[in-house]
Chains A and B, each alone.
Chain A
């Protein structure tokens, strides 16, 4: 029975619900724009991570290194694009 119960997935499910609630709270709770954006960005990235690891089973196959390498590479490119654009169009303008 123990092996059959998907404890990891159930916990992941609750965790991602929690993340959704936190993100939703940004709309209802009064806070500054910067704080709100930070919360949204952080919860979004964590949420994506949970989806990948828990529900899309990254890391459960033999070639998990290739999956993780691609994910890290993707995160790297995404961050470079976002912060690079902010740098050129706003901060460094």
Chain B
């Protein structure tokens, strides 16, 4: 019995027990359902072992939506707790766990997965490639992310959630102040998911640099591909810092080292320093793909080419370098001297310049365009004003001396939500509506889509604008309650109403997916938006091999010019196509990773060693395995192309 005590949740409440039962029943229902419908084989062959970038993208998408709901419920709980003064819906400890989980889930397991989903699905298609450079590694990336996310999520019912904030600052996150295993979960699950991200980074840089269609020089790449390239570059340079910091934190917690302790030569602020050396580039990892998505959608629906392509490229390259030069703005109040703060203050403000250039470019693309307000376009246009408010308040925060006033208040919370929600979430939803027909061969309902936009746009403003005021009035972030005499009540109530509208918006999106899956017409063309880049030049849904004949590119808007100027994209005849084989090893290897993480969380060394041996065996298997892929014959290509409605010219 003693052995099992460690798995108990430290401060159980009725809700936690209820969720345990709910999770148990759901798992059982899924298992029984799959068995009953005899879907195990299908699941294994088509999904768990797949190395196809499109299917991996779709799995990221499903995971991101699941995580959106987990994080969203957390958000609603926090807003409900603070909606009225002196509320007792959540106690202080529960509130700590909820905001920590919310932050980690939303940034690392929702936003990152959403970015990965669209990058995986779209980039190879946009550059006219058959898959990514290392398809097997791509599957490994996904499963690492997935297992990391699952490991993090079970902390809620086994052993207790982390409670020291998504930033997990030491010494608070050390054993002395966080004795439960929660923070172990934080360190290990983010470590596992982070490895996956790092691998994706390398994979996509190679893919984009090496596998572009003939004729597509770097300056003829679509803007989304450019942003994917730069994003992955930032990933490769930023994530190792996180990896090292997490490893050090893990050792502090599990093995009694003193990297981040206050005694024995440790330095607690070193954690904060490392965290933000990664953390600030991370926010740009999230925002750049979003910028790329807007740069695809806005020209498509303004019916003009993107204004200032070159300056767009230069500004994202500038952002990528600058994003590594500003991290100290997250702890201006640590106590370092005025010189240091001034340096980072200025570099932070400098970042607003290339960002501004991009905003003006989008505005100038809209200028004189024949704008068509589809759902994707509504989100893209709605992004501009709301994001600008978030960005401008960022510049206010960037003034070090003023930041002493704003730091750790609700003002900061308002800032980052007003950049991240229009910046990342709007973009992902817009991208979802835009690329959905390419993914699944039917369109999402526009009426429901527009309704969701209005609920979400109004919801965001209602939820976060009041925080500017209550923050300036002195409401600190991460406080579970406040007294009536502070006068914060009204602002928090408005905020709660906004949060509820956001929830309605997201439910509308999910309902839209259900509704369109059942009722939408399957009879659509492969280019329903009259778009401009290569992904629209192949069939919807896309065949395994993406393009029957590798396209040849002559101009920046290759597909548009093929339609309007008669450039010929597909020359020659079908040839045999070489494709990679599926493999179950990445999935199995990541199950071992999950086991390893779980064992380390609870310091179960024997299990950890067994799991580690499992991981190395999978790697050895890969090194010794002979796998030459398979070939798709010309006949098969001809048959597939005919079934999909005829060859592409």
Residue numbers of A with Cβ under 8 A of B are 63, 66, 70, 73-74, 76-77, 80-81, 84-85, 87-89, 92-93
Given A63-B209, A66-B209, check contact A85 B237 (CB 8 Å). Answer: no
Residue numbers of B with Cβ under 8 A of A are 205, 209-210, 233, 237, 241, 267, 269-270, 273-274, 277, 321, 324-325, 327-328, 334-337, 339-340, 343-344
Q: Bound state CA distance, A66 and B325, in angstroms?
A: 23
Q: Bound state CA distance, A81 and B328, in angstroms?
A: 11
Q: A87 CB to closest chain B CB, in angstroms?
A: 6
Looking at A63, A70, A74, A84, the one whose CB has the most chain B CB atoms below 10 A away is A84
Q: Bound state CA distance, A93 and B210, in angstroms?
A: 45
**Is B328 within 8 A of A88, CB to CB?**
yes
Q: Bound state CA distance, A80 and B320, in angstroms?
A: 13
**Is A73 within 8 A of B233, CB to CB?**
yes
Contacts of B205 in A (CB 8 A): 70
Q: Bound state CA distance, A84 and B330, in angstroms?
A: 14
**Is B269 within 8 A of A80, CB to CB?**
no
Q: Bound state CA distance, A85 and B321, in angstroms?
A: 17
Contacts of A81 in B (CB 8 A): 241, 277, 324
| Nearest-CB residue, chain A, relative to B205 | A70
Contacts of B269 in A (CB 8 A): 89
Given A63-B209, A81-B241, check contact A92 B336 (CB 8 Å). Answer: yes
Contacts of B339 in A (CB 8 A): 92
**Is B277 within 8 A of A92, CB to CB?**
no
Please list the 4 inter-chain residue pairs (A to B) with the smallest Cβ-Cβ separation, ordered nearest first: A92-B340, A77-B237, A92-B337, A93-B336
Given A81-B277, A88-B328, check contact A74 B237 (CB 8 Å). Answer: yes
**Is B233 within 8 A of A89, CB to CB?**
no
Q: A82 CB to closest chain B CB, in angstroms?
A: 10
| Nearest-CB residue, chain B, relative to A85 | B273
**Is A85 within 8 A of B335, CB to CB?**
no
| Nearest-CB residue, chain B, relative to A67 | B209
Contacts of A63 in B (CB 8 A): 209-210
| Nearest-CB residue, chain B, relative to A93 | B336
Q: A62 CB to closest chain B CB, in angstroms?
A: 11
A and B contact pairs by CB, cutoff 8 A, 30 listed: A63-B210, A66-B209, A70-B205, A73-B233, A74-B237, A76-B321, A77-B237, A81-B277, A81-B324, A84-B277, A84-B325, A84-B327, A84-B328, A85-B273, A85-B274, A85-B277, A87-B343, A88-B328, A88-B334, A89-B267, A89-B269, A89-B270, A89-B273, A89-B336, A92-B337, A92-B339, A92-B340, A93-B335, A93-B337, A93-B340
